Amino acid sequence: TRTFLRGPDGRRPVFGGIEKFQRDPHWRDLILFHEYFHGDEGAGIGASHQTGWTGVVAKLLQQSGE
């Protein structure tokens, strides 16, 4: 789940090196759910419109926190 959370430096691993998503206040809180993720860095890669399994996991995590 830390892939989607901001680290101490304010960056989200899911956004990788895309500065617009990391720093721009209009984009930095819009989380994209990618098809798969970089195993070492956590950056989202693959299609961001194929959200099947990632979306299911996100929903389950949300429900477990309620």
Q: What is the DSSP string of 15-30?
A: GTT-HHHHH-TTTTT-
Q: Is residue 47, in this structure, part of any structural domain at all? A: yes
Structure tokens at 66: 């309620």
Domain span at 18: 13-65
pTM metric for this prediction? 0.63
Are 40 and 48 in contact, with CB atoms under 8 Å apart? Answer: no
- Give the per-residue pLDDT at 44: 82
Q: How many residues does the chain have?
A: 66
Q: Is residue 3, in this structure, part of any structural domain at all? A: no
Q: Is residue 43, in this structure, part of any structural domain at all? A: yes
- Give the per-residue pLDDT at 24: 96
Task: Assess whether pLDDT exceeds 90 at residue 10.
Answer: yes
Q: Is residue 55, in this structure, part of any structural domain at all? A: yes
Q: Is residue 58, in this structure, part of any structural domain at all? A: yes
Domain count for the chain: 1
How many helices (H) and strands (E) the chain has is answered by 2, 2
42: left (phi over 0), alpha (psi -120 to 50) or beta: left
Task: Assess whether pLDDT exceeds 80 at residue 4.
Answer: yes
